[in-house]
Chain A
Amino acid sequence: MSETQENIDILDAESISSLHELLQDDFLDILSSFINLMPELIEDLKTLSESKDLNSIAKITHSIKGASGNVGAIYLSNTCESLEFGLRNNSIEEPSPYIDKIEEAASITLNELRDKFFQVSS
C-alpha cells in the first residue's frame, strides 16, 4: 500500500489498516455499503439544498460525516464537518457551495476507495 501525500489527505491510512485487520473481508462489505449508500445521500443533500431545509441538511451532513469518518475517509468527513458546524451555529445561510464541495469530496473519496480496494477505475 503506497502512502502518497494525496492518500493521506483523503483517507486515514492508519484507521483503515486497523479496520481491515480487524474486519478482514467484512471491511470490504462495509466499504461497498458505504460506496453504494453515498451517491444516494449526496442526491438527498442536493435536493434539500434547493429547498433550503437547513435542519435536514445538517442531519444528513452529520450522517455522512460520521460514516465517512468511521471508514477513515477523513477528507469527506472534514468537509462535512465544516458545513454541519456552520449550520449548527447559524453562520451559514447558503449551504449550496458547501454541498458542492461535499459532492466533490465524496466523488474523490469513492474513487480512491475503489482504486485501493476494488481495483476498478471510474
Chain B
Amino acid sequence: MINTDEQIGVPKILVIDDDPITRLMLVKTLTKSGYEVEEADGGITGVEKVSSFLPELILLDVMMPDMDGFETCDEIRKIRSYSETPIIMLTGLNDESSVDRAFDIGANDFVTKPINWSLLVKRVKYLIRDSIINMQLIENEARLRQSQRIAKIFYWELIPSNLMFTMSEAFKEHIGFSVDSQINCDDFMGLIHQDERSQVEKKINKILQDGQSYHIDHHIKSVDGRKYVFKQHAEALKGKNGDISRIIGTLQDITQQRHAESIIEYQRYYDELTALPNKKLFYDKLDESLNEHHAGSLMAVVFIGIDRFKTINESLGYGAGDVILQNIGGRIKKLLSGRGVVARNGSDTFSVILNNQSGLSHIENIVDEIRISLSEEYNINNEIVFIKCSLGITVYPLDKSNSVRLTANAEFAMNHAKGLGGDRYSYYSHKMNKVALRKRELEKQIRYALDNNGFKLFYQPQIDLHSKKVIGGEALLRMFTAENNMVSPVDFIPVAEETGLIVDVGYWIIESACKQIKCWVDDGIEDIRYGINLSARQFRDPALVEKLITWVGYYNLSSEVIDLEITESIAMDDMEETLNILRKFKESNFTISMDDFGTGHSSLSYLQQLPIDILKIDRAFIKDICHNGENGEIAKTIIDMAHNLNMGVIAEGAEEEHHIKFLVDNNCDEVQGLYYSKPLPVNEFSEYVKNFDVSGK
C-alpha cells in the first residue's frame, strides 16, 4: 500500500486507454494497489473525466483512435491546476520518438508496452508521492511568498564561485522592474543610495571573504524614483568542504515603519503648531548647552509669555490665536537667526537659549529686540492686532541650576515681569523665589483662616478732639495661623488680593463687624461709628451694596454707624464708576471715609464731587510733625480743605502728645493712633469705650 498523505486520502488515478483489456488490467492492478481508479476509453472522454474526477495521476495511452495521447496530454495540461499533475504515457517498446515527444508535451514519465506490471505500480507510487510533496512544496512556497509579500521581505542569492546573483521576483516587482528582468549584483548596488553604497559593498566583500553575516539599513531608489528604506541581512552558507557555497540575503522594506517612526520622533520633539522644538527638546538642547558651556561666557534662558493672550483668543477666536502664535514663533526664530534656540514651551509661552554671551547687556539687547519685534503689528485676517509680552531671564552660571530649574526660574522671572504690568523683562533672583514661596504659604494660611475662624477683628478707637469722646472704631483684620501666630495684614492682604480670596475675606469682615456692632449696641454702647475697609475688588463688586443693606437690616443697625473706608487710589482708579458706587452708598445712608488721604493724586475739583463724609489723613503726614509744629503744612492744608468741603477730618497715626497738640491747634476733628490706643480685641474695646477718661490721657 502506498504511503498516502492524510490530507489527500486515497489517491485517485485516471486510466485513459482505448484497449479494453489493457484498461481492465490497469484498473484492476491499480485498485488492488489501493488507489481509487476511473477509466476512459479515449482521449476526449479522458479530458472530460479529468475535470470531474480530479485525479492525482493519469495513465495515458499514446495510440488512441479519437484523440491520440499527445493531444490528450496537451489538453489536460491546459486544465487549470493540472499543469503539474503527473501523467504517465504508455508507449510501444521501440518507440523512442514517442517517448521524446511525450516529455516535450509535458508528460512526467512513460511506461512501455507490454507493461511491466510491478514496475508500473512502483512508478505510480513514487510519482504520486513526489507529486504530493511537490504540491505541498508549491503550496508552502506560495504561502511563504505571500507572507513575504505582506511583510515586504525579499531575498537575493550570490554564488561566490561564479558571482552569479539572483534577486527574488517579488523584489523586482516591488521596486518597479519586470519580473523577468535580469538584475546582477552591480545593478543591485546601483539601486542603493550613493552615500550608503560603499558601506554595503564593504559588507558584501567581507562576507565573501570570511562569511561574517551582517545587518545594514539603507535606501533604495525604485525605477520610477520612489525612495525606500530597506533592512538588509545576509548570511553565508558553507559547503561540505567548508568553503562559502552561497550567500543569502534578505531585504525587508521598512519604509513605512521608518516614516511612522520619524513622525513619532517629530511629534515627540516638535510643536505641531509652530514647528518649533517643544519643551522636551528644549530641555535636551539646554542640557547640551550646559555640557558645552565655556567658563567665562554666559548662557541665558529667556522665558517669554504673551500678556493677556486669553483676551486675544476670546475676542478673535482660537484660530486667530494659533496664527498669532505661529507668527510669534517665526519672528523669534528669524530674529535669533542662529544666535540661539527657540522653543514653544506651553500654550502661549516660548523659551529661548542664548549661548556664549559676553555680558548681561548683550543678553538684554537681544531680549529687548524680541520684546520690540513681538509688539509690532500682526495682520490676522485683515485685522490688525497688537500684543505685548513679558520676558523672564535667568543667567548661567550666575544661576547654577539644572535645565529644568533654569527654565522654571526664567518662567518665574517672566511672571514677575507680568506682575509689574507686562511689556518688560525681569531677571530671576533668589529673593523673588523666596517671595513666591512666602506667598504660597500665606495663601494656604488664608484658606485655613477662612475655614477655621482664624480671622479676628480688632478695633482701634477714634477720639473726637472736640468732645473728648470715643466717636468711632476702625475694624482691623488680624489673621491667626493654625499655631495661633498672628500674621500682619501687610503680608497677607496683597496675597488675598492676588488670589481673589480678598472677596471672601471682605464679606467675612462686614458680616462679623455687623454682628459685633449689634452686640455692642445691645450692650448700651451707642453713638459710635465703625470703620470697615473695602478692598478694590470688593468696592467694585456690584453685589456689595445689596449685601451691606441685608446685613445691616438683619442686625437691625442704623447704616450711618457703618463707615465704609476706601483708599484714595481705589477711588481714583475709575472716577466715573467710583462716583456711581459712592452715590449708592450715600442713598443707603452709609458713612464714607477716604482712607490714606494725601498719598494719591486726587484733584480738588474731583474730590468736590465725591459724597465723602470724612477724610483720613495718612499717618505719614502726622509722623513728621515736630515738637514745634513744623512739617505739619500738608496736614494743616488737608484739614482746611476738608472743612471747606464740609467734610470731617480724622488723623491717623497719632502717637505722640505733640501730635495731638498740633491737631487740636489746627482744628482737626478726630484722631486715631497709639497715643490713645492700639487696635483692641473686642472685649477690650468695649471696656475702653466704657472707661474712656480723657483726663487720664
The judgment on whether A and B are partners is yes
> Smallest Cβ distance from A82 to chain B, in angstroms?
13
Q: Is residue B380 within 8 Å, beta carbon to beta carbon, of the partner chain?
A: no
Q: Is residue B294 within 8 Å, beta carbon to beta carbon, of the partner chain?
A: no
Please classify how large the interface on chain A is, using the bins under 10, 10 to 19, 20 to 34, 35 or more.
20 to 34
A72 and chain B: residue at smallest CB distance: B114
Q: CB-CB < 8 A to A27: which residues of B?
A: 28
A23-B28, A30-B25, A70-B25 known; A77 and B114 CB under 8 Å?
A: yes
A33 to B21, CA, bound (A): 7
Q: Is residue A9 within 8 Å, beta carbon to beta carbon, of the partner chain?
A: no
A29 to B29, CA, bound (A): 12
A18-B118, A74-B114 known; A26 and B32 CB under 8 Å?
A: yes
A30-B25, A59-B65, A62-B63 known; A70 and B32 CB under 8 Å?
A: no
Please classify how large the interface on chain B is, using the bins under 10, 10 to 19, 20 to 34, 35 or more.
20 to 34
Q: Is residue A86 within 8 Å, beta carbon to beta carbon, of the partner chain?
A: no
Q: Is residue A69 within 8 Å, beta carbon to beta carbon, of the partner chain?
A: yes
Interface residues in A1-23 by Cβ distance below 8 A to B read 12, 15, 18-19, 21-23
A33 and chain B: residue at smallest CB distance: B24
Q: CB-CB < 8 A to A29: which residues of B?
A: 28
A30 and chain B: residue at smallest CB distance: B25
Q: Is residue A54 within 8 Å, beta carbon to beta carbon, of the partner chain?
A: no
A66 to B113, CA, bound (A): 7
Q: CB-CB < 8 A to B33: which residues of A?
A: 22
Q: Is the CB of B117 within 8 A of A15?
A: yes
Q: Is the CB of A15 within 8 A of B32?
A: no
Q: Is the CB of B32 within 8 A of A69?
A: no
Q: Is residue B275 within 8 Å, beta carbon to beta carbon, of the partner chain?
A: no
A19 to B29, CA, bound (A): 8
User: A68-109 vs B: 1/0 string, CB under 8 Å?
Assistant: 011110100100000000000000000000000000000000
Q: Is residue B689 within 8 Å, beta carbon to beta carbon, of the partner chain?
A: no
A59 to B116, CA, bound (A): 23
Q: Is the CB of B29 within 8 A of A67?
A: no
Q: CB-CB < 8 A to A72: which residues of B?
A: 114
Q: Is the CB of B113 within 8 A of A69?
A: yes
Q: Is the CB of A70 within 8 A of B28?
A: no
Q: Which among A22, A27, A30 has the greatest number of chain B C-beta atoms within 10 A?
A: A22
Q: Is the CB of A69 within 8 A of B117?
A: no
29 contacts between A and B (CB under 8 A): A15-B114, A15-B116, A15-B117, A18-B117, A19-B25, A19-B117, A21-B118, A22-B32, A22-B33, A22-B118, A23-B32, A24-B32, A26-B28, A29-B28, A30-B21, A30-B24, A30-B25, A33-B21, A33-B24, A37-B20, A37-B21, A63-B18, A63-B19, A66-B21, A69-B115, A70-B21, A70-B22, A70-B113, A72-B114
Other contacts beyond A22-B33, A23-B32: 12, CB < 8 A: A18-B118, A23-B29, A24-B32, A27-B28, A37-B21, A59-B65, A63-B18, A66-B114, A67-B20, A69-B115, A70-B115, A77-B114
